[in-house]
Each structure stands twice: as C-alpha cells, then as structure tokens.
C-alpha cells in the first residue's frame, strides 16, 4: 500500500489521537476515567459495546469464515440475542440500583472479598487471552500492507492503542469506538462494492457461484456439539457464552454502569446486538463475495492460504489505493476499538478490585488516576506478549476467541446467578464452587475419556459453579450476609426497552 492509501490511514489515526486529547482535558478523577461521569449518551455506549466485541479478529475472521463456510456463523447471532435479552431482564435492573465501578463489587456485597477477587482474576485472564488475539489480528494487516515484520507490527499496534487509552479514559474509548465503528461499516461497504464490480456478471454471478459452492446456506439444524456452526451449539453453547460476556464481563458492564438509568442501559444493550448482527452479516457477505471473486480468478490466491489472511491479501493486491487505505483503516479501527476497551477495563479492575480494595483505600483521586494510567501501560505490554503466543498457535482468530475466552467467563456467570437465585449461598461456597467447577472441568478435559469442546465451557461451568456453590454453602455453613433487598434480582420490569 502506498501514497493515497497511507494518507487515509494517517488521517484516521490523527482523528483518533485528537479524540483522545480532547477527552483528556480537565480530567482529574477516576469517575471520569472509569465511567465518563455517567454523562455519555446511550447510543454511543451501545455502539461502543459492539465495537469492543467486533475486533480485528472479527473483521479478518468474518470474511475468512464466509469464504470457507458461507453464512453459517450468522447463527451465533441468535445465541447473542438470547444472551442480551437475559442480561436486559435480570442483570441491568440490578446494576442500575447500585453505584458500582466494576461488576465484581456486587459479589463482595453479596458474598465476600475473596469471591469478588476471584471473579476479577478470571476477567483479567480473559482480557489477557483476548487482547493477544486482538493485537495479533491487527498486526497481520500491518505486516501484509507494509514491509514490516509481524513481531514489529504487533509492537506498533500495541503502542498506538496504549497511547490514546492512557490519555482519555472511558470517554476517549467510547467516542473513538463510535468513529471506529463508522469506519468499519464504511470499509465493508466499499469493499463489497469493489468486489461485485470486479466479478463478471456482478451480483447475480456471485450468488450463483456461492450457491454452487455451498456458501449460501443459512442454517445447520444437525446436532453436532463439536461444530460451532450447528444451530443447537450456536443457541445453547454460544448463547450461554454471550450471556456471560454481555452480563458479567467488565468491558460490557462498564458501559451499562456509564448509562444514566436502566432504560438507557437496555437500549444500549439491544443497539449493540442489532449493530453486531449487521456487522457480522456484512463480514460474512464479504467473505462470500471474495469466494466468488477468487473462484473466477483462481491463480490470484494460494490454495493453502490461512482464512484470516484472505482479506489482507485482497487489500494489498486487488484494491485501488484509496479503498485499500480505507479497509486498512477499518481493520485498525476494529483492532483499536477492542484493544482500548480491553486495556481500560483491565486497568479499572486492577485499581478498583485490588489496589484500592487491599493496598491504598483512601488515597486522592489523582493518585488512583495515575495508577490507572500506569496499569494501561502494563496491560499493553502483557497484550503484546500474549499476541506472540497467539501468533504461534496457528488457529483461526474467531475459533481461538470462541474457544479460549469461554474458559474464564462461565464460572463468573455462575457466581452471579448463585448470588441472585440461591439465598442460602455464602461466600465460602461461592468461592470454592467456582474453583471446583473451573478446575474440575479443565482436569476432565485433560484426563477424561472425551473432551468438551471449548465453546461449551461456559454452558457447563456456569451451572456447575451454581450447583457446587450451593452444596458447599450447605455443608460449610457460615454467618449469612445481612439481607439487603437492593442486592437481589427482584422483579425486573418486563419491558426490555
């Protein structure tokens, strides 16, 4: 990529850094850094939720998935919908009643400090794994469109994400997410237009080629727990994973906590799902278009190319300069909107759940703000190391994320459900129930007669945490936490919006 293409990328990068600088002015407290002082509009927070989830892995993995399997991945959006509806019904009214900064503060209110710390540790491990995949995905594009090596590209992407996350806090993250989501959608649309104009016969030929190659199928109704592209797995396994990520993951919860009230948080959540459906559908459609393009020009693409490299190769070899720059900027945007959120929530949890909780309770707000920014730097360094690990796995980005992030979010969902629906559960039972469920499941997968697919881990570990937590609480009775009505799930309003 040369000239005009790089100019587009530079203009986009300048806009991102400008937002970070503007939102950092007059920032003196952690409430502004962590929650945007609850002044951000719900629609921006909703776009930020999906921009956080829709990473460079999505923008690279989606076309690769569409190229290889058509629209079957879109079934996962049904699981996502179930997850968001459950969050809107049960969790958002609870969060709205409490003045929280992290999702895991509630677990200390309901149970004890060690349970809160355990859940926060699970989340931090989730971030470390996910951040590695996010940085690696963006670095693939940098390496493909430039003369830089993959290791150098990983370092560059990590440093850029750190700089504006340190500067602006949540407001910078949210408003850059809005800009980045717009760039992503514009880039996908421009690439779709270019591809269909390059295929002889246009859209009708693309559809015919896709149907002939089995890329136009929307549903797989077979019962195949090993396949994430089967509808039962998409609804049951991925639905539970979506419930856990959307409802108990700090990256999502931090946006709900920044909303003015429960109605605004519900609108933000459902906007996130709708925008995600469009984004995932768009990337899969792009993959189907690329399949038709390369079927008509088979010599333009190596037969053994990794799915995640198909879009970067197309950008580098087939697109006009301006469109190539726009697509490269879109992938950087998708990467940055996920990386900044991961780094910011990593910092938030370490400051609120550990540093302020155990080491320095009554320091000045400016002190906590300095520590938070230093921890963003730490998260960037850890993310870069994690990206090198992901690069060595050789697994598709979408598959890697769906498999490995599921290890950590299921037990946390189990803790939240235990706290809301099991009145006799205590902190000792909750803590050890989550440990036994997660550890036992990993042990079974190593030594058992058969392996549980990674995408099912949340669907298995969440109910196991609930069951073991309840049983251990009954066996090891402790002084119950005084009843506090605001900590219960209560009767949530039936209206979602």
Answer whether residue 154 is part of any domain: yes
112-158: per-residue pLDDT in tens? Answer: 999 999 999 998 888 888 888 878 877 877 777 677 788 888 888 78
Q: How many domains does the chain have?
A: 1
User: What is the per-residue pLDDT for 308?
Assistant: 78
Q: How far apart are CA 130 and CA 132, in angstroms?
A: 5
For residue 8, the tally of other CB atoms under 10 A from its CB is 23
Checking if the pLDDT of 465 tops 90, the result is yes
Considering only residues 237 and 30, tell me which one the structure prediction assigns the higher pLDDT.
237
> What is d(CA 463, CA 217) in angstroms, rounded to the nearest whole number?
33
Q: Kindly state whether residue 489 falls inside one of the protein's structural domains.
A: no
d(CA 496, CA 466): 26
- CB 275, CB 77: distance < 8 Å: no
Q: Tell me the pLDDT band of 27, cut-offs 50, 70 and 90.
A: low
Which has more pLDDT, 72 or 306?
A: 72
Full-model pTM = 0.82
SS3 for the chain is: CCCHHHHHHHHHHHHHHHHHHHHHCCCCCHHHHHHHHHCCCHHHHHHHHHHHHCCHHHHHHHHHHHHHHCCHHHHHHHHHHHHHHHHHHHHHHHHHHCCCCCCCHHHHHHCCHHHHHHHHHHHHHHHHHHHHHHHHHHHHHHHHHCCCCHHHHHHHHHHHHHHHHHHHHHHHHHHHHHHHHHHHHHHHHHHHHHHHHHCCCHHHHHHHHHHHCCCCCCCCCCCCCCCCCCHHHHHHHHHHHHHHHHHHCHHHHHHHHHCCCHHHHHHHHHHHHHHHHHHHHHHHHHHHHHHHHHHHCHHHCCCCCCHHHHHHHHHHHHCCHHHHHHHHHHHHHHHHHHHHHHHHHHHHHHHHHHHHHHHCCCCCHHHHHHHHHHHHHHHHHHHHHHHHHHHCCCCCHHHHHHHHCHHHHHHHHHHHHHHHHCCCCCHHHHHHHHHHHHHHHHHHHHHCCCCCCHHHHHHHHHHHHHHHHHHHHHHCCCCCCCCCHHHCCCCCCCCCC
Domain contains 116? no
Please give the mean pLDDT across all residues of the chain: 81
- Going by C-alpha positions, the residue among 396, 319, 302, 330 that lies closest to residue 69 is 396
Q: Phi and psi dihedrals of 361, rounded to 5? A: -75, -35
Lowest mean pLDDT among 180-184, 263-267, 327-331: 327-331
Asked whether the beta carbons of 270 and 496 are under 8 A apart, the reply is: yes
Label residue 72 by pLDDT band (50, 70, 90): very high
Which whole number is the average pLDDT over 376-402? 78
Q: Encoding tokens for residue 445?
A: 């997968």
* CA separation for the pair 332, 421 (Å, rounded): 42
Instruction: Look up residue 309 and give its two tokens.
Output: 């490299």
> Residue 52 falls within a domain, yes or no?
yes
pLDDT of residue 480 exceeding 70: no
pLDDT at 450: 83
Q: What is the pLDDT of residue 113?
A: 92
The answer to the question of residue 419 being in a domain is no
- Write the CATH number for 137: 1.20.1730.10
Report the percent of the chain where pLDDT is more than 70. 84
Instruction: Please say if the pLDDT value at position 449 is more than 70.
Output: yes
To the nearest 5 percent, what fractions of the chain are helix, strand and coil? 80, 0, 20
The first and second tokens of residue 305, run together, are 């190319």
Residue 442 lies in a domain: no
**Does the pLDDT of residue 495 top 50, yes or no?**
no
Q: How confident is the model at residue 485 (pLDDT cuts 50, 70, 90)?
A: very low
pLDDT of residue 340: 73
Q: Which of 404, 399, 453 is nearest to 58 (CA)?
A: 399
Average pLDDT over residues 479-485: 49
pLDDT, average across residues 416-424: 90
**Integer distance in angstroms from the first to the last C-alpha of the chain?**
45
CA distance linking residue 344 with residue 36, whole number of Å: 12
Residues 30 and 368: beta-carbon distance below 8 Å = yes
Instruction: Let me know if residue 472 belongs to a domain.
Output: no
CA distance 212 to 91: 45
> Domain range for residue 19?
4-101+123-352+359-391
- Does residue 473 form part of some domain? no
Question: What pLDDT score does 494 carry?
Answer: 37
């Amino acid at each position: 990529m040369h000239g005009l293409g790089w100019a587009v990328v530079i203009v986009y990068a300048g806009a991102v850094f400008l937002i970070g600088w503007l939102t950092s002015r007059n920032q003196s407290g952690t409430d502004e850094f962590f929650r945007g002082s609850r002044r951000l509009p719900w629609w921006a927070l909703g776009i930020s939720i999906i921009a956080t989830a829709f990473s460079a892995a999505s923008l690279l993995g989606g076309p690769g998935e569409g190229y290889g399997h058509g629209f079957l991945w879109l079934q996962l959006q049904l699981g996502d919908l179930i997850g968001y509806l459950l969050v809107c019904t049960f969790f958002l009214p609870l969060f709205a009643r409490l003045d929280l900064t992290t999702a895991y503060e509630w677990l200390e209110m309901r149970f004890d400090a060690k349970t809160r710390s355990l859940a926060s540790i699970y989340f931090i491990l989730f971030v470390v794994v996910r951040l590695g995949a996010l940085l690696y995905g963006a670095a693939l594009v940098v390496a493909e469109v430039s003369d830089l090596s993959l290791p150098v590209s990983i370092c560059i992407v990590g440093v850029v994400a750190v700089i504006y996350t340190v500067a602006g806090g949540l407001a910078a993250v949210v408003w850059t997410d809005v800009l980045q989501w717009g760039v992503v959608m514009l880039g996908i649309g421009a690439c779709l237009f270019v591809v269909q104009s390059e295929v002889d016969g246009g859209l009708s030929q693309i559809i015919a080629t896709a149907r002939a190659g089995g890329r136009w199928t929307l549903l797989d109704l077979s019962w195949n727990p090993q396949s994430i592209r089967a509808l039962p797995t998409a609804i049951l396994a991925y639905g539970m994973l979506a419930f856990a990520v959307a409802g108990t993951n700090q990256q999502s919860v931090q946006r709900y906590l920044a909303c003015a009230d429960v109605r605004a948080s519900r609108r933000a959540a459902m906007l996130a799902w709708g925008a995600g459906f469009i984004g995932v559908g768009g990337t899969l459609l792009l993959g189907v278009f690329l399949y038709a393009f390369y079927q008509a020009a088979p010599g333009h693409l190596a037969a053994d190319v990794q799915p995640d490299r198909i879009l970067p190769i197309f950008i580098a070899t087939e697109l006009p300069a301006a469109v190539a720059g726009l697509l490269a900027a879109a992938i950087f945007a998708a990467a940055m909107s996920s990386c900044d959120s991961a780094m910011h929530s990593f910092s938030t949890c370490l400051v609120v759940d550990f540093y302020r909780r155990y080491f320095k309770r009554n320091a000045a707000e400016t002190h906590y703000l300095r520590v938070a920014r230093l921890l963003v730097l730490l998260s960037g360094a850890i993310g870069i190391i994690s990206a090198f690990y992901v690069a060595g796995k050789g697994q598709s980005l979408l598959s890697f994320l769906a498999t490995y992030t599921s290890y950590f979010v299921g037990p946390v969902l189990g803790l939240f459900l235990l706290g809301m629906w099991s009145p006799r559960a205590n902190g000792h039972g909750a803590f050890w129930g989550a440990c036994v469920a997660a550890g036992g499941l990993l042990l079974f997968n190593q030594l058992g007669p058969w392996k549980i697919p990674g995408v099912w881990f949340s669907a298995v570990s969440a109910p196991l945490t609930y069951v073991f937590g309840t049983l251990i609480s009954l066996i090891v009775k402790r002084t119950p936490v005084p009843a506090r009505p605001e900590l219960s799930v209560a009767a949530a309003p039936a209206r979602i919006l």
